Amino acid sequence: MIFDYETLKFIWWVLVGVLLIGFAVTDGMDMGVGALLPFLGKNDEERRVIINTIGPHWDGNQVWLITAGGAIFAAWPLVYASAFSGFYFAMLLALFALFLRPVGFDYRSKIADPRWRSAWDWGLFVGGVVPALVFGVAFGNLLLGVPFHLDDMLRPFYTGSFIALFHPFALIAGIVSVAMLTTQGAIWLQLRTADPISSRAKLWAKRAGLATIAAFALAGIWLSLGIEGFRVASMPPLGATPNPLAKEVTHEASAWLANYRDYPWTLLFPALGFVGMGLAIRASLADRPGLGLVASSLGLTGIIVTAGAAMFPFILPSSTQPNSSLIVWDAVSSHLTLTIMFWAAAIFVPLILAYTTWTYAKMWRRVTVEEIREQDHLAY
């Protein structure tokens, strides 16, 4: 074994975070485009332009979400079981909304009836907004604490309700998610389309970017002043065989800020979120959407890592029985499993990145209404 157990536990926390960031940057961009589709496209041809900017990429981008789910299942099986039990109906809501995307992309243009196409346009809108909202609300609930506990057999029991998931703070987190992905999608459309769609996208990039900054700031203030966090008071050695019930966890005010107090360099993460989004807006307004897309991606990364750094080492904190909380050090698979998965990731993730980059490079162009008219056979 090249890495000891403790190091592998941390490596997989980082790798899962990378997969979630990859999903937000790529497939989140597609969701943002879907969210804007009914508003930026004023007629059928313009909406086909918008759809064709992501048509060649959306299904490949969705692989990031599937891979992240598989990684959580393999690396953190107890987290997977507990989270998907507790968030079952919310996950089904997101899943059913995601169903509208492949069907909408494939069947929207098969029939020329305006009512048919309009219905699928709104279906793609739902497929973009609802999953983004649900994922953000889920992150908000992690910071609030999830009402579940483990019995002596380490079986998880969820005691909350679907309605309780929509706590006001969780809704703010959901707004952050929707706004930042909409910003990503708007800047992408500004980059890949011509006027008048590009000009409309620039306006929406400004609106969504400012909403992201405002909601992110509000969530941070609320988290620091009004929400109790969790802290590990005692636990076995970090490399020990996982046993979630072998630790002691306390519920304390401002505990989510502890890592920022103890490691001031982590303040770079929220700074990256604010600065990245601010630069994205500025670059978009200056008609430099390429730079804006890079800045927006960095802003997304900063926002996601801000939440991860605040919670570390917690993955799924329990609000009803804090000692049942699942953390990086005790929610993982065996040393052998993590090692095999590490080498699989080391081989295949670079291949996926290389292939994704190649597809974007080969299909990089502005999509125009004239192209849609000349090539009416286009799938989208």
pLDDT along the chain (380 residues), means of 10: 86 94 92 94 90 86 87 91 86 91 88 90 95 94 93 88 91 97 96 93 96 96 90 88 90 91 95 97 96 96 96 94 93 91 89 85 82 70
Residue 190 belongs to domain spanning: 5-374
**Token representation of residue 334:** 């065996």
Distance in angstroms (rounded) separating the CA atoms of residues 280 and 294: 8
Q: H or E element: which one contains 43?
A: none
Is there a domain that residue 148 lies in? yes
Number of domains in the chain: 1
Whether 21 and 46 have beta carbons less than 8 Å apart is answered as no
| CB atoms near residue 164 (< 10 Å) | 12
Sequential DSSP letters for 343-361: HHHHHHHHHHHHHHHHHHH
List, in order, residues 6 or more apart from 71 with CB less than 8 Å away: 12, 15, 16, 19, 341, 345
Taking CA atoms, 366 is separated from 190, 328, 360, in Å, by 9, 44, 12
The pLDDT score that the predictor gives to residue 360 is: 86
Is there a domain that residue 379 lies in? no
Query: What residues pair up with 232 in beta bridges, in sequence order?
Result: 249
The pLDDT score that the predictor gives to residue 353 is: 85
Which backbone phi and psi does 157 adopt, to 5 degrees? Answer: -130, 120
The pLDDT score that the predictor gives to residue 61 is: 86
Whether 35 and 132 have beta carbons less than 8 Å apart is answered as yes
Question: Strands, DSSP E only, in the chain?
Answer: 148-150, 156-158, 228-234, 248-253, 314-316, 326-327
Is there a domain that residue 160 lies in? yes
Whether 29 and 61 have beta carbons less than 8 Å apart is answered as yes
Is there a domain that residue 380 lies in? no
Is there a domain that residue 236 lies in? yes
Of 150, 330, 157, whose CA–CA distance to 240 is shortest? 330
Whether 247 and 234 have beta carbons less than 8 Å apart is answered as yes
The pLDDT score that the predictor gives to residue 302 is: 97
Is there a domain that residue 340 lies in? yes
Is there a domain that residue 88 lies in? yes
Distance in angstroms (rounded) separating the CA atoms of residues 333 and 131: 28
**Token representation of residue 65:** 């979400």
Q: What is the pTM of this model?
A: 0.93
Distance in angstroms (rounded) separating the CA atoms of residues 229 and 287: 42
